[in-house]
Structure 1
Amino acid sequence: MALTAEDLRDLVVLLEAHPEWRKVLWALLASEEVLRMPTELAELRAETERRFTELAEAVRRLSELFIAHRQEFLAQQAHTDARLTELTETVRRLSELFIAHRQEFLAYQAQTEARLMELSAAVRNLAEEVRALAEAQRRTEESLAAHRAETDRRFAELAEAQRRHYEEFAAHRQEFLAYREETDRRFAELSAEVRALAQAQRRTEEILQQVLLRQEQFQRTLDHFGQIIGPITEEHMVQALQEWIAQQGGMLLTPVVSMTLDGLGEVDGLARARLPDGQEAWLLISAKAKVWARTITEFVERILRHPEARERLQAQGVGDPVLPVVFGRALDHRALEAAQRAQVGLLIGRQGMLVPPVLWSLSEGKPLG
């Protein structure tokens, strides 16, 4: 079984506690030829024992220092991993939100085109920086793993070299001196590598601070974007709805308002209307800059079929029947089929009502008839 750094450290502690064992150990390690050496080698043996004691003490101090640094590094690494996990989750949510709204953003009016292009460029830069940070973190972890493996390997080499040295001491005294120089050099290299690891950790902290700052800037940009797009889309929605109801021979009996459902979502447009046949119904409108198939699905599942959402609408005085309509200024081709399948009205800007709405029962969460 190979001698490890931990075994060597235990041996040093035992020799310090029992100085009388050193002679016994020396008798076991030395060959008969050494024991028969002339008296003139006594001084050389005493010097060798002193150097062994110094080396053992140096190894013990280095082991204690390494353990302390390693514990500190593991704690710092755990803290870094936790912060990086939080940052990754935040970036993932921001990326999902950006992807969901990017197509709507591209369809905005021509006069906002320049602003949208600037925002898109900023988001790409942020994504590149995040990927660069992830790559840097990966390289740091690989470097740390390599350093740990290299440290274990070097301690194993040290133990093996000492074993060979004491077995061949009589014939290889010059090799021992060279080995001592090599050990000093390796300890110096290890100290330099530990300092390099500390510097790399500080650089990682600085990069994380920069990413957090960029994240705050990105969130402020998204908030500003929402404040611009939302009111303009709803304004066009009201105009298109008024034109359609007038063309059908009906009329709006109340203003078109929005309603928040206390954490369950929001109805972008809500109004009481008289239909051409004289029947009255509530118009429920979801407004998006661009309508996708998932826009239809989310409107049906989160509002029309969701029990709690329907209860909160009824609590605000909205009753049967209702006419669900999805409004947008642009249209994905798959949304048309989705609206027909869901029996939900589809009103697109200047194109008008592409899919006529049907009456729904709000209390039952399904189409009437």
Structure 2
Amino acid sequence: MAFTITDFHDLVRLLEQHEEWRKELRRLLLTDELLNLPNAVREFRKHVDRRFAELAKAQRRTEESLAAHRAETDRRFAELAEAQRRTEESLQRLSEAFAAHRQEFIAHRQEFLEYRAETDRRFAELAEAQRRTEESLQRLSEAFAAHRQEFMEHRQEFLEHRREFMEYRAETERRFAELAEAQRRTEETLRQVLLRQEQFQRTLDRFGQTVGVTVEGQMVEAVQRYLAERGYALLEPIASLAIDRIGELDGIARVRGPDGEETWLLISVKARLGPHAVHDFVDLLHHAAVQEALRAYGVRGPVLPLIFGVVLDRRALELARKARVGLLLQAQGELVAPQPWTLEASGGSEDP
């Protein structure tokens, strides 16, 4: 039986009706079938050969049927020889029908030849596709080999870098351990130093309190003698004045001068009288909070700034003169005479 266009259309319709057939057909054509294309081609050729054999057999059966039909016709012609005239029309119709069948057979054969040509063309396309696939596989294999070689080289580099990193990590951890131990020793040393510094500071504070009280006591005696020698009279005891968050004045007292004018004496006490003592005293008197505290204490008019010390740094002399600040030493007396300052003008020195 020949495979006709109708059979092909039936096959297409069946595929449209059955989704699972189409999936199976796509799987066979696009995946495993493509990879096993040579076997598929051979199987397809066997299938075509089998179909050709079936078509030849069908052709043979057709020819046998035709021969039998012709024999039957001849027999009928013999039997109906006498009725030839009566059956001419029937025979003509039979001849026409036979011609139509023959024409249909010729058309079917032509259709089969076209289908075979289409099949051959598709086989050629599949062979070309197989050739391109093999070429692609060859290029893919070559590219894979190159990538594999590159991967092996990168892997070797990675292993080398990893080994170097592990060595560096071990060395870093060792150094961190050494640094941690050094840090621990440093912290222990620092703790000891801070402990000793704290002990020293406590000793220094006790010494400073002792020295400060002693020097301030000597200051009171020395200032009293100093004022008496220059004709000044103390109008009140010499006392210190604490100023919140700033510090304190070591001595403050109201005095009357030889001319009968009253003024205020502001005193700073330093065991060692150096440049810093002068700068610190001047800055203290210039401080707005100090001046406000003095005004609140009742200080008005001019003041006499005086620094009392035990040991002198020579550099303090010139600074004291420029600042118009008096210097009084315990053993040497007055070295620089104090000049009047005006607190409202932020100090009596033009260029302290």
State TM-score, norm by structure 1.
0.48
Partner residue in 1 for 2:319 = 338
- What displacement does 1:349 show? 1.1
Spell out, residue by residue over 1:314-368, the C-alpha distance to the aligned partner (whole angstroms, 9 max, x if none).
1012222211111111212221111211112111112111222222222223339
- Residue type matched to 1:313 in 2? L
Spell out, residue by residue over 1:221-246, the C-alpha distance to the aligned partner (whole angstroms, 9 max, x if none).
22122212211111111111111111
Take 1:212 and 1:206, find their aligned partners in 2: how far apart are those partners?
10
Take 2:306 and 2:199, find their aligned partners in 1: how far apart are those partners?
35
- Residue type matched to 1:253 in 2? L
Spell out, residue by residue over 1:11-31, the C-alpha distance to the aligned partner (whole angstroms, 9 max, x if none).
xxxxxxxxxxxxx99776569
| 3-state SS of 1:350 partner | coil
Partner residue in 2 for 1:264 = 246
Task: Label 1:284 to 1:207 Cα distance change in 2 as closer, same or farther (>3 A).
Answer: same
Take 1:352 and 1:187, find their aligned partners in 2: how far apart are those partners?
73
Map of 1:127-166 to 2, 5 A cutoff? 159=158, 161=160
Is structure 2 residue 247 aligned with structure 1 residue 248?
no
- Residue type matched to 1:362 in 2? L
Take 1:356 and 1:300, find their aligned partners in 2: how far apart are those partners?
15
- Residue type matched to 2:340 in 1? L
Map of 1:86-101 to 2, 5 A cutoff? none
Spell out, residue by residue over 1:110-157, the C-alpha distance to the aligned partner (whole angstroms, 9 max, x if none).
xxxxxxxxxxxxxxxxxxxxxxxxxxxxxxxxxxxxxxxxxxxxxxx9
Partner residue of 1:360 out of 337, 341, 345: 341
Contact 1:261 / 1:309 at 8 angstroms: preserved in 2?
A: yes
Partner residue of 2:208 out of 209, 219, 226: 226
- Residue type matched to 1:334 in 2? R
Take 1:336 and 1:300, find their aligned partners in 2: how far apart are those partners?
14
- Residue type matched to 2:341 in 1? W
- Residue type matched to 2:333 in 1? G
| 3-state SS of 2:338 partner | coil
Partner residue in 1 for 2:282 = 300
Map of 1:1-369 to 2, 5 A cutoff? 159=158, 161=160, 195-303=177-285, 305-367=286-348
Task: Label 1:311 to 1:193 Cα distance change in 2 as closer, same or farther (>3 A).
Answer: closer
- Residue type matched to 1:296 in 2? V
Task: Label 1:209 to 1:354 Cα distance change in 2 as closer, same or farther (>3 A).
Answer: closer
Spell out, residue by residue over 1:234-275, the C-alpha distance to the aligned partner (whole angstroms, 9 max, x if none).
111111111111111222111110011112232111111121
Task: Label 1:331 to 1:205 Cα distance change in 2 as closer, same or farther (>3 A).
Answer: closer
Contact 1:240 / 1:350 at 8 angstroms: preserved in 2?
A: no
Contact 1:261 / 1:313 at 8 angstroms: preserved in 2?
A: no
- What displacement does 1:201 show? 3.9
Sequence identity (%): 47
Take 1:209 and 1:288, find their aligned partners in 2: how far apart are those partners?
33
Contact 1:259 / 1:266 at 8 angstroms: preserved in 2?
A: yes
Structure exhibiting the larger radius of gyration computed from Cα positions: 2
Task: Label 1:161 to 1:299 Cα distance change in 2 as closer, same or farther (>3 A).
Answer: same
- Residue type matched to 1:354 in 2? L
- What displacement does 1:209 show? 2.4
Take 2:165 and 2:327, find their aligned partners in 1: how far apart are those partners?
79
Take 1:262 and 1:345, find their aligned partners in 2: how far apart are those partners?
26
Contact 1:258 / 1:267 at 8 angstroms: preserved in 2?
A: yes
| 3-state SS of 2:259 partner | coil
| 3-state SS of 1:240 partner | helix
Task: Label 1:359 to 1:220 Cα distance change in 2 as closer, same or farther (>3 A).
Answer: same
Partner residue in 1 for 2:141 = none
- Is there any run of 5+ residues in structure 2 with no aligned partner, and where? 1-145
| 3-state SS of 1:363 partner | helix
Partner residue in 1 for 2:17 = none
Structure having greater relative contact order (Cα 8 Å, sep ≥ 6): 1
- Residue type matched to 1:278 in 2? G
Partner residue in 1 for 2:87 = none
- What displacement does 1:301 show? 2.2
State TM-score, norm by structure 2.
0.50
Take 1:187 and 1:368, find their aligned partners in 2: how far apart are those partners?
68
- What displacement does 1:280 show? 1.3
Task: Label 1:196 to 1:358 Cα distance change in 2 as closer, same or farther (>3 A).
Answer: closer
Task: Label 1:208 to 1:274 Cα distance change in 2 as closer, same or farther (>3 A).
Answer: same
Number of matched pairs = 205
Partner residue in 2 for 1:107 = none
| 3-state SS of 2:344 partner | coil
Contact 2:324 / 2:349 at 8 angstroms: preserved in 1?
A: no
